[in-house]
Structure 1
Amino acid sequence: MPTDRQLQDGQHLAVLGYEQSFDRSMSLWANFALGFTYLSPLVGVYSLFAIAMSTGGPPSIFWILIVAGGQFLVSLIFGEVVSQYPIHGGIYPWTRRLWGKRYAWMAAWIYIWAMIVTITSVAQFGSSFVASTFNIELTRASTFWFATALLFIALLLNFSGTKTMARIARIGLAAELIGVIAVGLYLLIFQRQQSFSVFFDSMGVQGDSSYASAFMGAALTGLFLFYGFEACGDVAEEVSNPARRIPKAMMMTILVGCVSALLSFSGYVMAAPNLQQIVNGEDPDPIPAILEASLGTVGSKIFLVIALTAFLSCVLSLQAAASRLIYSFARDGMLPGHRWLSSVSTKGKVPANALLVACCIPFALCICIYVGPESLLTQVTSFAILGIYVAFQGVVLASLRQRLRGWKPAGPFSLGSAGMLVNILALAYGIFAMVLLAWPGSTGDFVADWIVLIGFAVVAGAGALYLFIANPDRKSDAPSDDAIEVAAKLRAAAHGPAAARADESTTPSH
């Protein structure tokens, strides 16, 4: 027999026009673990530390605080939206219900490809940890096979069901916390080689130019770190009491991720035996040497095992989030082969075919990277972060549009009278972030300087072409642009018709 809470969740889903198809076995902590392992400060800091230091020096750490603050504003808006719409897919159903089908189709199309490329990138980067853990030479061939292993191991774990996914996510969370917080604290307390004033010293990274341009160039330090919290909402129909728990999980992901990233980044800076060499760009992969000098050979090997666990959990979380987005997209008839893509396995209660797509396309990209030029990985991943930020701001903009029309979010999580101000600030931050991400380089190489916008234009252009030729939005009868109406229905279901009538009387017509 279902519990009262499951019945309430089912009633909320019914108001939104869907039936319960998944097991609601994911708790608040499991949902937080999913978002946190997707955000993965361990993966982010490890991947970006050398670039951040050679671009902006030690003060680049302040981008972690700046971006965490901006993304926290975005998470507050997402929290209001998911609290009213706790349904699978996140970005896609949110933008459809807040604006319309074509708007949502483009946002989801860009986001799906950004996630698929991110899955590929994490698997590729994780292969170096596999090689280091087992003392195997890292070649193009070994990178391909290790990345493939990470993809298909994650797929098998995802196939086994939500409980297994949640369990692995919690293990990944533990690995992340040990790898970033525990190691960061140890380095800060016992292995300090510099004073704390170093974080206000550019160490000459700007050369003869103004440090302001160098600092702006280091923005990727934070921008590449703080996304992934939206994955908490991608699995909404597998979470018990999602309207209350998912907003909390999103905010926890940002806050804990910020603390973790700060401790990890600052620990590596403070423990670096030759910090000036790193700032000068003479050591492109300094973290292994820092760890071996601080932890010894055995300690650094243990860290590698912990990091490898975090990478596997990150790939698993990415696959899970991408598959739920694809499932949600297909469930509304908005993709070719939508019936096949929207099927749910009877045993594991997971969107098995969507999971296959979320694994096989990254596998195909790994093949292309293996046989293609060495720069291909950088080229295919360049647009991913911009695509994710564009999709995020698609939700923020659509939410602001509905507020201006009189929408009052009806979920249990609401910002109340502060909602409009937070929404405007979140949009302003998002525009600032997208400009930083899209700003062309100055190397003189046209492709290298403009690759982010080129990649984004290719994906967005292909999506727009399909949208206007195939018109998938006309083949779907899924509801859209109904935020005000759904808010009234939810209030009526929770408090009775009188509350709904009172709400309607204060809502302008449109």
Structure 2
Amino acid sequence: MDQNASHAAAADGVPDDDDVQLAALGFTSEFKRDMSPWANFSLGFTYLSPVVGIYTVFAIALAAAGPPMFWSLLIAGAGQLLVALIFGEVVAQFPVAGGVYPWARRLWGRKWAWMTGWVYLFALLASIAGVAYGAGPFVAGAFGFAPTSTTTIVCALAVLTLATIANFGGTKILGYIAIFGFSAELLGAVVVGAWLLLTERHHGLDVLFNSFGAEGSHSFLYAFLAASLIGVFQYYGFEACGDVAEEVRNPGVQIPKSMRRTIYIGGAAATFVCLCLILSVVDFGAVISGADPDPVSTVLARAFGPVGSKLVLGVVLISFVSCALSLQAAASRLVYSYARDEMIVGSRKLSRFDQRRAIPPYALLLAAVIPGLLIIGSAMSADALAKLISFGAIGIYIAFQMVVFAALRARLKGWVPNGRYRLGRWALPVNIAALVYGLAAIVNIGWPRTPEASWYDNFIVVLLSVGVIGSGLLYMGIARSHNNGTAPYGDAIPARAVPEPEAAAPLAHPETTGAGDAH
């Protein structure tokens, strides 16, 4: 059935193919399928956000390893494309709102899914706070006041409030703003980058192989791995296309396509922006030494002047708000999916659904309040931005790899994807390569690199990760919320063949036994 026929069937009260598939998976959706394929891709693009990803971490990465940090974007892009291909197979078979949590539930079981959702939720909330916090200096630049820790926090809360108001407008508004954000960001990235290349290019491509001594007393590999945070932070967001799977028509085809486009187009834009900025920095030594702590603002002010740079900053701020909006939408759908399965305290409230606006309001409110508290709490921490970004990145990578590992386990136990997007004979090698890349990235993000700092500050990312996982295990052990609800689980793996009836007890269906929790 094509999309027009699906619309007609829905209008006549006849279930369309999407509803039939969802019903077969055990759900009747309350969401409206109002999000176009273009809006779905735009949601992933604005979540990945090349402008936000590059502008936020550019100074940190350039100071750590110099211009060769550029190459980490290509490495991370290739690695995350492998993950996106696996996610495409999974969402095509299980197009359920909430992303990694329902995917892990169907691939493995309730306990694994519960922990996957728990880690992903905290990572998303930290990422929302990190994006809003990262907007602070650009708000200050746009409105002409000095960025301080206090003004950054106030500006971050303002960005978070704008994103929340927009999200409360409903799915259609979310789609429109995502498309507008995508258009503004892509146009801004191309125009700004082209202008910098034409008027402010001070170096040739050879600088991409010159660290300018950024590694100091360390090896260059050590410095490059530290700087690769820019690549790691850049390449997630494609999963947001699947977080809203119940709001897109023909999700088994459209969402895998949107995920891949997010990597291709978002990655190309991010790489172009990063290259243009690197070639426009006059003095790499000043950035490395800390004399120029904000090279992006320095480059933009010199290239566009006081008026032009404010216009550019306006586009940058649109990108930050759009990114926060997309992150918040993903987080709210995860919370709603969690609560719909009665997997978390407050499920009755958090699973409430506003039929008029087609949003889960309390889940959305949670995705605003907790990031707001994290932003306020950042006043007590030095380098709050780097810590929020690092924890958000490692948490999302852990959740991603829990799904990738669950997919590999299911595949080895006999799972053969039957959705409308399949990798065929490439599935197993791609799955293994995605897992190897993800585990290496997790180790790299969590590696302590500030021995001069207090031990707890040096290990802050690892400690936060252990704290989230530990608290999740404790919560799960005490509340046993993973046992609640009747949603299916572990059904990706085929049931074992039943012996002849005379010797065999009846074999329950994995949707009700929780066969996926046996290990």
TM score, norm. by length of structure 1: 0.92
Q: Which moved more, 1:416-425 or 1:144-153?
A: 144-153
Q: Cα distance 1:377–1:277, how it changes in 2: closer, same or farther (>3 A)?
A: closer
Identify the residue that residue 510 of structure 2 maps to in structure 1.
none
Match of 1:56 among 48, 52, 65: 65
Could you tell me how far 1:217 is from its partner in structure 2?
A: 2.3
Separation in structure 2 between the aligned mates of residue 106 and residue 462 of structure 1, nearest angstrom: 10
Q: Write the mapping of 1:386-405 to structure 2, written as runs, cut at 5 A.
A: 386-405=394-413
Identify the residue that residue 3 of structure 1 maps to in structure 2.
8
RMSD, aligned α-carbons: 1.8
Whether the 8 Å CA contact 1:184–1:264 is kept in 2: the answer is yes
Give 2:59's aligned amino acid: A
Whether the 8 Å CA contact 1:185–1:263 is kept in 2: the answer is no
Separation in structure 2 between the aligned mates of residue 275 and residue 184 of structure 1, nearest angstrom: 19
Could you tell me how far 1:146 is from its partner in structure 2?
A: 2.1
- List runs of 5+ in structure 2 lacking aligned partners: 1-5, 496-518
Could you tell me how far 1:322 is from its partner in structure 2?
A: 0.2
Q: Cα distance 1:186–1:111, how it changes in 2: closer, same or farther (>3 A)?
A: same
Separation in structure 2 between the aligned mates of residue 207 and residue 2 of structure 1, nearest angstrom: 61
Whether the 8 Å CA contact 1:441–1:448 is kept in 2: the answer is no
Q: Write the mapping of 1:275-424 to structure 2, written as runs, cut at 5 A.
A: 275-370=284-379, 372-375=380-383, 378-379=386-387, 381-424=389-432
Separation in structure 2 between the aligned mates of residue 383 and residue 17 of structure 1, nearest angstrom: 34
Could you tell me how far 1:392 is from its partner in structure 2?
A: 0.1
Identify the residue that residue 129 of structure 1 maps to in structure 2.
138
1:426 equivalenced with 2:431 (yes/no):
no
Identify the residue that residue 126 of structure 2 maps to in structure 1.
117
Identify the residue that residue 499 of structure 2 maps to in structure 1.
none
Secondary structure in 2 matching 1:136: coil
Separation in structure 2 between the aligned mates of residue 485 and residue 21 of structure 1, nearest angstrom: 29
Could you tell me how far 1:375 is from its partner in structure 2?
A: 4.8
Deviations 1:320-344 (A, max 9, x none): 1000000000000101111211111
Secondary structure in 2 matching 1:349: coil
Give 2:475's aligned amino acid: Y
Give 1:293's aligned amino acid: R
Whether the 8 Å CA contact 1:58–1:201 is kept in 2: the answer is yes
Separation in structure 2 between the aligned mates of residue 334 and residue 312 of structure 1, nearest angstrom: 30
Separation in structure 2 between the aligned mates of residue 127 and residue 83 of structure 1, nearest angstrom: 38
Give 1:335's aligned amino acid: I
Q: Cα distance 1:168–1:465, how it changes in 2: closer, same or farther (>3 A)?
A: same
Identify the residue that residue 439 of structure 1 maps to in structure 2.
447
Deviations 1:348-400 (A, max 9, x none): 01111100111111122233234x34455554554221111000000100000
Deviations 1:22-80 (A, max 9, x none): 11111111111111111111111111111111111111101000000000000000000
Q: Cα distance 1:116–1:78, how it changes in 2: closer, same or farther (>3 A)?
A: same
Match of 2:185 among 176, 179, 189: 176
Give 1:350's aligned amino acid: I
Give 1:3's aligned amino acid: A
Separation in structure 2 between the aligned mates of residue 358 and residue 36 of structure 1, nearest angstrom: 20
Deviations 1:89-117 (A, max 9, x none): 00100001000101111111011011111
Separation in structure 2 between the aligned mates of residue 176 and residue 186 of structure 1, nearest angstrom: 15
Whether the 8 Å CA contact 1:50–1:281 is kept in 2: the answer is no
Could you tell me how far 1:473 is from its partner in structure 2?
A: 1.4
Could you tell me how far 1:150 is from its partner in structure 2?
A: 1.7
Q: Which moved more, 1:291-300 or 1:144-153?
A: 144-153
Give 2:57's aligned amino acid: L
Whether the 8 Å CA contact 2:134–2:385 is kept in 1: the answer is no
Whether the 8 Å CA contact 1:382–1:451 is kept in 2: the answer is no
Whether the 8 Å CA contact 1:45–1:225 is kept in 2: the answer is yes
1:251 equivalenced with 2:256 (yes/no):
no
Could you tell me how far 1:191 is from its partner in structure 2?
A: 2.3
Separation in structure 2 between the aligned mates of residue 29 and residue 351 of structure 1, nearest angstrom: 23
Could you tell me how far 1:157 is from its partner in structure 2?
A: 1.2
Give 1:158's aligned amino acid: N
Could you tell me how far 1:253 is from its partner in structure 2?
A: 0.7
Deviations 1:273-321 (A, max 9, x none): 2233223433111111111211222221110100111111111111110
Whether the 8 Å CA contact 1:386–1:434 is kept in 2: the answer is yes
Match of 1:218 among 227, 232, 245: 227
Identify the residue that residue 501 of structure 1 maps to in structure 2.
none
Deviations 1:216-253 (A, max 9, x none): 22221211111111011000100111110110111111
Secondary structure in 2 matching 1:403: helix
Secondary structure in 1 matching 2:459: helix
Could you tell me how far 1:209 is from its partner in structure 2?
A: 4.6
Separation in structure 2 between the aligned mates of residue 89 and residue 264 of structure 1, nearest angstrom: 31
Deviations 1:400-419 (A, max 9, x none): 01110111111111001110
Secondary structure in 2 matching 1:224: helix
